[in-house]
A = this chain, B = another copy of it.
Amino acid sequence: MMATIKDVAKRAKVAPSTVSRVIANNPRISEKTKQRVREAMQELCYHPNFIARSLANKSTQTIGVVMPSSADKAFQNPFFPEVIRGISKGAHQKQYGIHMSTGDTEEEIFEGVVQMIEGKRVDGLILLYSRVDDMLTNYLRQNKVPFVMVGKPFNAIEEITHVDNDNYKAAKEVTEYLINQGHKRIAFIGGSLKLAVTVDRLQGYEKAIRNAGLNFRDDYVIHEEFLKEGGQEAVNELFSLEEPPTALFVTDDLMALGVLNKLDAMNIHVPRDVSVVSFNNILLSQISRPPLTTVDINIFQLGYEAAKHMILKIEEPPEPVKRIIIPHKIVIRQSSSEYKKENE
């Protein structure tokens, strides 16, 4: 059997409570006994039992991570491993563990989270998605469960600590970049408007378009599901217009890949005939043909800061509601170029 605190106590000839204090590095224990106890711990290969500690403490040192519905295609986005890597780093630094939760349906996810919370398996949650009218966030707020959201909350934004990019600004900037390149007909291909991120990027795009005195055209704005069919369908629509765009603003690298393929199939050359920009800067965006001009949103940092603030919220309440903005950076690669008049 594994050594317990009592075994260590006996071996070091002290009381269990003393051992406990040594573990916590309580300053009121003499260095001498600390030494003795530590030796005993070594000899017995003692490791504190987290479960027992949690029970006594009422703290699990664990944060729950809630993924979107696994049925969702977006689940396969390399965004997730990367954000989890960030969370993991932040959690690890403070000796926290990570408890994952997924489900096929929204109900399944909700049920899982309730179990986690009521069962006291976690001290707090990081939500990796934000949805309109989310029953989950409502539940969490009502029950005063500490949580942090990655991305922008749809409702009650003033009451939810979240870690996000300034997607409005990023979208505006990258659109301005295209405009500066001489493009006047810039289309927007985005995911569902139920995602806050889509809304923000659309608004930034619109702002830049209007600022430049260009026409904001409804037929240049297309929303599709993530991935494959999405991007391809969008391209179909856009290039059957009388005045097809000369540049495409795509809200996600993965969609952009679909777009690139479709363009290739239609013999539309990138960037000669049309420029393409997108978001995320996942690894694949470097190896696409051509490599994608994309906004690096610093996914790792998104996760890292989420973890850090989650732990802050757990350890020193009342931590005020915060909005943490992670900087972005436009990475220019070959998928975008100056618009050449001779194409007209």
Contacts and interface: CB of A to CB of B under 8 A. Distances in A.
A121 B97 contact: yes
A92 B76 contact: no
A258 interface: yes
A84 B121 CA distance: 20
A287 interface: yes
28 contacts: A47-B115, A47-B119, A48-B119, A50-B120, A51-B51, A51-B119, A70-B85, A73-B283, A75-B81, A76-B81, A80-B81, A88-B100, A88-B102, A92-B108, A92-B112, A97-B99, A97-B101, A97-B116, A97-B121, A98-B99, A99-B99, A99-B100, A227-B287, A228-B283, A231-B287, A254-B284, A257-B288, A261-B288
Contacts of A156: none
A312 to B, nearest CB: 21
A82 interface: yes
Contacts of A101: 88, 97-98
A107 interface: no
Contact of A102 (B85, B119, B261): B85
A70 B85 CA distance: 7
Closest 3 CB pairs between A and B?
A47-B118, A50-B119, A88-B102
Contacts of A254: 284
Interface stretch (A16-24, A52-60, A162-170, A318-326): A52-60
A257 to B, nearest CB: 6
A70 B50 contact: no
Interface residues of A, number: 62
Contact of A121 (B51, B77, B227): B51
Which of A101, A118, A264 has its CB near the most chain B CB atoms (within 10 A)? A118
A78 to B, nearest CB: 5
Greatest chain B CB density within 10 A among A54, A103, A121, A287 is at A287
B47 A51 contact: no
A115 B95 CA distance: 10
Nearest to A260: B289
A287 B55 contact: no
A282 interface: yes
Given A88-B70, A261-B287, A282 B49 contact: no
A265 B118 CA distance: 56
A84 B102 CA distance: 9
Interface in A100-127: 100-104, 108, 112, 114-116, 118-121
Given A78-B76, A286-B228, A60 B70 contact: no
A118 B51 CA distance: 11
A287 B258 contact: yes
A2 interface: yes
